[in-house]
Amino acid sequence: MPEIDDSEPMVSCIACETEIERDNAFTTSAGELACESCVSYCGYCESVGLDSDSWYNVDDDNWCEDCYQNESFTCNRCEYTTNNNRDSGTDVQNQGYWCEDCASNHTTYCDDCNERYADGVGECDCGNNGTSARVHNYSHKPNPVFHGGRSNLYMGFELEMSFGKENFTPDEYHAAVKEVEQLESDDICYLKQDSSIEGWGFELVTHPHTLHAYENATPLWNYIERLRDNYGARSWDTSTCGLHVHVSRTAFKSGAHTHRFLSLIYRNPREMMKLAGRKNSRYARFDDVYKPDEWGIPQFNLRDKIHSGGFSERFSAVNTNNEYTLELRFFRGNMKREGIMSALELCHASVEYTRNMSVPDVKLGMLKWEWFADWVATNNGLYPNLYQRMSKVPSISLSTPTLINA
């Protein structure tokens, strides 16, 4: 590293040779002095370098060469480069490592030979080239069938699960899949592949239901119970499974209502995560709503999540990139009816609690957790599973001690 003479008040920029005041000069990681116009910052380690240095595009940001080499991942299919803490790639047979989007949408997983194959490239070694036809490709999206009568507030959920039972066999797997046949025929739910699930597993996806329709969806709950008890399906006690709830955009009467709903969730991250049973995850981030101001100080900002055309992180606590739904991604997977219902009730209650809230209400502090918890307690007959869940989670206190008949 070159020695710098700090006795002179004026220095010359190493890149453009412009004379600048020493106090306004930037020192690069190589120890060189440069003006503001000639330097760049690494988006990962925040080191300072010259514009003429080697910079690499990672997640649409400049990264230095060391961080690019050691901390990033480039998909072999789409060639998009991202932070390897978010996506380290999925091994696709004879194709290298693909990002999650490419692996989910353009590959088929064969349970018999435990390999993932690129669609259209040929069959796997065992010749089956995939699971049962009733486990659809990740990109499978049938026309939604709505259950529960006329309503603006419909919800659908995606439940990821894996089969952790010892000596689990392909025959058991196909038997578990076969049992969904009637439910899929009745447009209640269907099964999909998901590359994020380790080992044997799939994602159960429901058609949109009202909260009341879910309360009475006995065949659905019975199937999930059989998957858990008869086939050893697990979701809570795994490292790769989660529960995602989609809320219809028609449930919100205005952009201001959507803003209040998102504010309630993002301004109470500790309580939301405790209820969901899942800490801040790289797949469901709570910190992506904090944007640096002109001084580089993080500020709470929901602009990108409200306005169309803005960039919003998909792996966020609430994914707002979908055209027809908001996706709440921060729930831990759960194979019990009361656990899934508590998540659905939390989503429903959050929409209804913020529906008619006024600006003075917000200024009064009604988006704080204590206000919402009291409202749920008052309406616990409508949200019995959520109420019971809230009463068991440490640091969440409820003022109403008894259940009210709905």
Are 67 and 54 spatial neighbours (Cβ–Cβ below 8 Å)? no
The helix (H) or strand (E) run that includes residue 275 is helix 269-276
Q: What is the pLDDT of residue 86?
A: 76
Pairing type for strands 26-27 and 33-34 reads antiparallel
The helix/strand/coil state of 378 is helix
Q: What is the pLDDT of residue 312?
A: 56
Q: What is the pLDDT of residue 288?
A: 74
Q: What is the pLDDT along the chain (406 residues), one digit of tens a residue?
A: 455 555 678 899 998 999 998 888 998 988 899 999 999 989 888 899 999 999 999 988 899 999 999 999 999 999 999 988 877 888 888 888 998 888 877 877 765 566 778 876 655 655 544 444 478 888 888 889 999 988 899 999 999 999 877 778 888 888 999 899 999 999 999 999 887 787 789 999 999 999 999 999 999 999 999 999 999 999 988 878 899 999 999 999 998 999 999 999 999 988 998 888 877 665 666 777 657 666 777 766 776 676 544 455 667 888 888 889 999 999 989 999 999 999 999 999 999 999 999 999 999 999 999 999 999 999 989 999 999 998 877 655 555 444 433 3
Q: What is the dihedral of CA 311, 314, 318, 319, to 10 degrees?
A: 80
Q: Where are the beta strands (DSSP E) in 193-252?
A: 201-206, 233-234, 242-248
Q: What is the pLDDT of residue 5?
A: 54
CA of residue 237 relative to chain centroid, distance: 18
Q: What is the pLDDT of residue 167?
A: 78
Question: Phi and psi dihedrals of 176, rounded to 5?
Answer: -65, -40
Q: What is the pLDDT of residue 281?
A: 60
Q: What is the pLDDT of residue 136?
A: 84
**HSE-up (13 A, CA, CB side) for residue 316:** 21
Q: What is the pLDDT of residue 246?
A: 97
**Which pTM does this prediction carry?**
0.65
